[in-house]
Chains A and B, each alone.
Chain A
Amino acid sequence: EDTIVKPRQKPASSATVSTGNDTTVKTGPDTVTIKADRVEGIYEQEMEAIGNATLCHAGMTLTADRMKYFPQSKDAEVTGNLHLDRKKDFIEGDYLKLNLDTQVGFLTEPRYTMKEGDGRGTGERLFFEGKNQYRLKKGEYTTCPVDDEDWYIRASDLKIDSEKEVGVARNVSVVFKGVPILYTPWLDFSYTGQRKSGFLAPVVGHTKRSGADLAIPYYINIAPNMDATIAPRVMSERGFMLSNEARYIGHGVHGRVQADVLPDDFDTHKTRYGISFQHGQYLGHGWRGQLDYNRVSDDRFLRDLSNNLSQTSRTNLLQQAGLFYHGDLGLDGTVSFSAIAQRFQTLQDPFLPQNSNLLIISPYKRLPQLTMNAIKRNVAGMDFGLNATWTNFAHSSADRTEGRRLTLYPTVSVPFRNSYGFITPKFGLHYTQYALSDNVGTVGSNTDRVVPIVSLDSGVIFDRNVSIGGNNYIQTLEPRAFYVYAPFKDQSFLPNFDSAESDFSFAQMLTENRFSGHDRINDANQITLALTSRLLEPSTGIERLRAAVGQQFRFIDRRVILDSSQVTSRRADFIAALAGRITREISTDVNIQLDQQSLRTEKIRAGISYQPELGKVINLGYRYTRDVQERLDIPDNQLNTAIKQVDTSIQWPFFSNWHTVARVNYSLRDDRLLAGLAGFEYISCCYKFRVVVQKLTTATSRSTTAVFVQLELNGLMNIGSNPLRVLEQSIPGYASIY
Chain B
Amino acid sequence: CGFKLRGQISSLPFETLYIAAPPGHTIGSDLRRAIDATTTTKIVDSVDNAEAVLQVLNANNERRILSLSGGGRVREFELIFRITTRLIDSKGNEIVPENTITLLRILPFLDAQILAKEAEEQMLYQDMQADAVQQIIWRLSTLQKSRFKPEAASIQ
The interface of chain A, by Cβ under 8 A from chain B, is 282, 286-288, 303, 309-310, 312-316, 324-328, 332, 334, 336, 344, 346, 349, 360-361, 363-364, 366, 375, 377, 415, 417-422, 460-466, 476-477, 497-500, 502-503, 505-508, 511, 515-517, 536, 538-543, 565-566, 568-569, 589, 591, 605, 623, 625, 635-636, 638-641, 643, 645, 647, 665, 667, 669-670, 672, 674-675, 696-700, 702-703, 729
Contacts and interface: CB of A to CB of B under 8 A. Distances in A.
A623 B76 contact: yes
Interface residues of B, number: 56
Given A324-B24, A536-B138, A672 B70 contact: yes
Contacts of B6: 420, 461-463, 476
B106 A605 contact: yes
22 contacts: A287-B24, A303-B72, A310-B65, A312-B72, A313-B73, A313-B74, A326-B29, A360-B111, A375-B33, A377-B33, A417-B38, A419-B7, A499-B116, A500-B110, A505-B124, A542-B135, A569-B108, A636-B70, A643-B76, A696-B72, A697-B68, A697-B72
Nearest to B9: A419
Contacts of A309: 65, 68
A565 B107 CA distance: 17
A336 B71 contact: no
B1 A665 contact: no
Contacts of B111: 315-316, 346, 360, 638
A516 B5 contact: no
Contacts of B140: 541
Contacts of A421: 8
Contacts of A511: 123
A286 B116 contact: no
Given A313-B65, A464-B3, A502 B120 contact: yes
A421 B6 CA distance: 9
Contacts, number: 206
Contacts of A539: 142
A460 B5 CA distance: 8
B113 to A, nearest CB: 4
Contact of A502 (B3, B29, B75, B123): B123
A219 to B, nearest CB: 25
Contact of A464 (B2, B24, B107, B142): B2
Contacts of B106: 503, 505, 591, 605
A328 to B, nearest CB: 7
A384 B156 CA distance: 35
Contact of A568 (B29, B72, B110, B123): B110
Given A507-B124, A568-B110, A639-B110, A498 B119 contact: yes
A147 B54 CA distance: 52
A589 B71 contact: no
Contacts of B37: 415, 417
Contact of A623 (B1, B7, B67, B117): B67
B112 A667 contact: no
A328 B36 CA distance: 15
Contacts of A505: 105-106, 124
A645 B127 contact: no
Interface in B117-149: 117-120, 123-124, 127, 135, 138-142
Interface in B59-98: 64-76
Tell me what chain B mostly uses at the interface: helix, strand, loop, or mixed.
Answer: mixed
B123 A508 contact: yes
A678 to B, nearest CB: 18
Given A502-B120, A643-B75, A645-B67, A419 B8 contact: yes
B153 interface: no
A635 B72 CA distance: 13
Nearest to A729: B64
B121 to A, nearest CB: 9
Given A377-B33, A421-B8, A507-B123, A568 B142 contact: no
A625 B108 contact: yes
A701 to B, nearest CB: 8
Contacts of B113: 500, 566, 568
A511 B100 CA distance: 27
A500 B108 CA distance: 12
A282 B23 contact: yes
Contacts of B24: 282, 286-288, 324-327
Given A286-B24, A502-B123, A643-B67, A463 B3 contact: yes
B71 A507 contact: no
A669 B70 contact: yes
Given A508-B120, A517-B119, A699-B72, 4 more contacts: A316-B114, A464-B3, A568-B113, A636-B69
Contacts of A286: 23-24
A498 B116 contact: yes
A287 to B, nearest CB: 7
A422 B38 CA distance: 10
Contacts of B64: 729
B3 A702 contact: no
B104 interface: yes
A601 to B, nearest CB: 15
Interface string B19-31: 0000111100100
Contacts of A697: 68, 70-72
B23 to A, nearest CB: 6
A699 B71 contact: yes
Contacts of A346: 111
Nearest to A603: B108
B46 to A, nearest CB: 14
B120 A516 contact: yes
A636 B70 CA distance: 6
B78 to A, nearest CB: 9
B26 A336 contact: yes
A500 B71 contact: no
Contact of B70 (A328, A415, A498, A700): A700
Contacts of A314: 74
Contact of B115 (A422, A497, A515, A643): A497
